[in-house]
Amino acid sequence: MAEKQNSNFFPPKYADAIVGLSAKEQEAIKKKYESMKFEVGEAIGVVAAQSISEPATQTTLRSYHAEGRTQLVTTKGLPRLIEIFDARKMPKTPTMEIYLDAENNTLEKAREIAAKIRETKLKQLISEDSLDMINMRAEIVLDREQMSASETNVEEIMNILKKNLRSANITGEQNKIYIELKKKDFDVRELQATRIKARTIYIKGIKGISQIIIEKVKNDWVIRTLGSSLRRVLKIKGVNTIRTTSNNIFEVADVLGIEAARNAIVKETIDTMREQGVDTDIRHLLLVADVMTNTASISAIGRYGLAGRKASVLSRANFEETVKHLTYAAVAGEIDPLESVIENIIVGNLAPIGTGIVKLAVKEDEADGKK
């Protein structure tokens, strides 16, 4: 039946590729395609799951081993894979890969954008700071070079400090800033605490972007960041909004939509596996990504995601939280339709998958040889 219904289907990707070949060659390719098609009943899900996790168990998916010059230290290998399948709201090490527009594809522009997005705290702009015990105030000397690199000035910083340190008077001269506490009798320790607090005050950039590396990849200047905020970065002029990506799948879904998130899952998983030297067909990961994003939101592989939503009581009970699912089913008067694999194994039926979906009918008189 399937053969008939899809006999005309030929993947567009390959249809494009065979343009220009001779008719005979095209025919041969099409015939080859027919021989490669999925069989009806194929347990495509199990095969995908095995193809992902078998190499994960077999090879030691190393999570470190960075050779040579330091790169951004990101989660890799098995922990990263699990992180993706768990659909964590925030990955352990969110990163972005920022590409630039064709006309802005220069090191200078990359540096400029990098300076803009990098989260800058006061301590990064300080060349010297100390407690002035005579005047009972904290004294901060700002670094001119750092300030200009971050495109800020003393006034701006003072304004930010004033907003954030309500309990203190902020005064300044040239590139010095003084912090005095407003209240009269105070401990030196309080002043010290204020000084330390001041050091960590956020001045500029995008919050969370703590580290930046600029690299040349082939012809492109790429800004890699530790910390991620797609929404804000995509608004920056000069950023290539098509190629710029984040490894935070929820963020991608939020900013670019669920289809983008689905592609992000595929990209992240296959990159993680390839980096470990594991060759897995992309179709398996496409399937996983499709399953995870099927409901238009990202659901995890696990008890709170897909497994907890299945139609079958027995299947859910078999996975995790057995008693919870059984008691719940009783209260709801649930009916297990016994339509997929595990339930049927449990009750002792033939599972409706693979050759199990085929029913054999024998004409009895023929079988007995009578005709």
* Binding status of residue 348 toward other proteins by CB under 8 A: yes
Which of 100, 268, 294, 362 binds other proteins (CB under 8 A)? It is: 294
* CA separation, residue 311 to residues 188, 226, 306, 308, 350 (Å): 65, 41, 10, 9, 18
CA separation for the pair 207, 253 (Å, rounded):
20
**87 close to 299: Cβ distance less than 8 angstroms:** yes
* Binding status of residue 133 toward other proteins by CB under 8 A: no
Which of 234, 236, 258, 342 binds other proteins (CB under 8 A)? It is: 342
* Binding status of residue 290 toward other proteins by CB under 8 A: yes
Is the Cα torsion angle 182, 187, 191, 193 positive or negative in sign? Answer: negative
* Binding status of residue 305 toward other proteins by CB under 8 A: yes
* Binding status of residue 97 toward other proteins by CB under 8 A: no
Which of 172, 208, 238, 302 binds other proteins (CB under 8 A)? It is: 302
The nearer residue to other proteins, 57 or 174, going by C-beta atoms, is 57
- Computed on alpha carbons and rounded to an integer, the radius of gyration of the chain in Å comes to 30
CB of residue 39 to other proteins, shortest distance in Å = 7
Which of 113, 222, 249, 338 binds other proteins (CB under 8 A)? It is: 338
Nearest to 181 by CA among 199, 163, 169: 169
Write the binding mask 216 to 245 for other proteins: x where contact by CB under 8 A, - elsewhere. Answer: ----------x-------------------
| Amino acid identity for residue 287 in this structure | L
The nearer residue to other proteins, 158 or 329, going by C-beta atoms, is 329
Question: Which positions from 33 through 92 interact with other proteins, judged by CB under 8 A?
Answer: 33, 35-58, 60-61, 64-70, 78, 81-82, 85
Which of 102, 133, 134, 332 binds other proteins (CB under 8 A)? It is: 332
* Binding status of residue 345 toward other proteins by CB under 8 A: yes
Question: Which positions from 137 through 156 interact with other proteins, judged by CB under 8 A?
Answer: none
Reduced to 3 states, what is the DSSP secondary structure of residue 41?
Answer: coil
126-132 and 120-121 as β-strands: parallel, antiparallel, unpaired? unpaired
The nearer residue to other proteins, 193 or 347, going by C-beta atoms, is 347
CB of residue 330 to other proteins, shortest distance in Å = 5
CB of residue 1 to other proteins, shortest distance in Å = 5
CA separation for the pair 45, 51 (Å, rounded):
10
* CA separation, residue 172 to residues 140, 154, 155, 167, 178 (Å): 9, 8, 9, 16, 6
* Binding status of residue 328 toward other proteins by CB under 8 A: yes
Select the span of 13-21, 145-153, 160-168, 189-197 touching other proteins (CB under 8 A).
Answer: 13-21
CA separation for the pair 364, 371 (Å, rounded):
9
Q: At what angle do helices 282-293 and 258-275 cross, to 10 degrees?
A: 140
* CA separation, residue 328 to residues 73, 315, 334, 336 (Å): 45, 14, 8, 13
- The residues pairing with 212 across neighbouring beta strands, listed in sequence order, are 225
Write the binding mask 248 to 287 for other proteins: x where contact by CB under 8 A, - elsewhere. Answer: -------------------------------xxxxxx-xx
The nearer residue to other proteins, 208 or 354, going by C-beta atoms, is 354
* Binding status of residue 353 toward other proteins by CB under 8 A: yes
For 324-338, b/e burial (b = at least 16 CB within 10 A) is ebeeebeeeeeebeb
Select the span of 90-98, 131-139, 150-158, 339-347 touching other proteins (CB under 8 A).
Answer: 339-347
The nearer residue to other proteins, 62 or 231, going by C-beta atoms, is 62
The nearer residue to other proteins, 77 or 109, going by C-beta atoms, is 77
CA 200 to chain centre: 28
Which of 188, 196, 217, 335 binds other proteins (CB under 8 A)? It is: 335
**27 close to 256: Cβ distance less than 8 angstroms:** no
Q: At what angle do helices 258-275 and 77-86 cross, to 10 degrees?
A: 160
CB of residue 82 to other proteins, shortest distance in Å = 6
The nearer residue to other proteins, 138 or 317, going by C-beta atoms, is 317
